[in-house]
Amino acid sequence: MAAVLINVVLVLAGSFLGLLLKSRFSQRLGQAVMSALALCTVGIGLSTLLKTENSLCVILCMVAGTLLGEWIGIEKRMDGMGEFLRRKLVRGEGSSRFVEGFVTATVLYCVGAMAINGSIQAGLNHDYAVLVSKSVMDGVSAITFAAALGLGVAFSAVPILLYEGALTLLAGVVGPYLSPAVITEMSAVGGAIIVGIAFNMMGLGREKIRVGNMLPAIFLPMVYLPLAEWLGTLLS
């Protein structure tokens, strides 16, 4: 859990530093920084997505996971959590962007190869290198996110603690049963979702992509790959 706590602390530190610098960020500068971050986010997502060794797995898991997420209403619940925190803790100018900051930062920091692999490595081998590297990147990006989107970014530290903490603790139990192929496809699905986040950051499309509802897809390769292998053996 040490690496998870480092991630939480650096996101909080970066967020509060960004809030201090907010007055020096004009709207034009903030938009420019957000566009730059969006392009970097596209690159991160694609680099992970393209490592897939089973495109069909990614496609089916994305479809099934999105349907499951839509049925549960994950994004709506995340929005509701952000709105509750906004009403309780934020007043005055800028409060309208609290939910956007909370949801955007939460999904970005909790989804992807580094969050999954880093948490698993920390839980299995007490190897914190991946998660600490991710923490530094998150802390730096939190500065610009908080300056542009406000206090909601800081509260993404709570889901980070719960999500990465749960993965780390679970890794010690289920990690030995996850094959490298499963981890690769889980990361690839996360990469696809990260690309969706980038599209939202750039305002592409007529409607915002509900990336929060896609989160269940990350875990479906754990079911898909063993099932596909079993069916292949059965049919051969």
pTM of the model: 0.73
Query: Comparing 6 with 202, which gets the higher pLDDT?
Result: 6
Average pLDDT across the chain, whole number: 82
How many CB atoms lie under 10 A from the CB of residue 100? Answer: 19
Q: Report pLDDT digits (tens) over 160-200.
A: 999 889 988 887 787 777 888 888 888 888 888 888 878 88
Q: Which residues contact 62 (CB under 8 A, 6 or more apart)?
A: 189, 192, 214, 217
Query: What is the Cα 235 distance to its own chain's centre?
Result: 37
What sign results for the dihedral spanned by CA atoms 71, 72, 74, 77? positive
Three-class secondary structure assignment of 17-49? HHHHCHHHCCHHHHHHHHHHHHHHHHHHHHHHH
Element (H, E) at 140: helix 129-149
Which pLDDT does position 84 carry in this prediction?
Answer: 74
Which pLDDT does position 62 carry in this prediction?
Answer: 95
Which pLDDT does position 25 carry in this prediction?
Answer: 61
Q: Report pLDDT digits (tens) over 20-71.
A: 887 676 667 667 767 777 787 788 788 888 989 999 999 999 999 999 999 9
Which pLDDT does position 95 carry in this prediction?
Answer: 56
Which pLDDT does position 86 carry in this prediction?
Answer: 65
Selection from 5-9, 79-83, 130-134, 217-221 with the highest mean pLDDT:
5-9
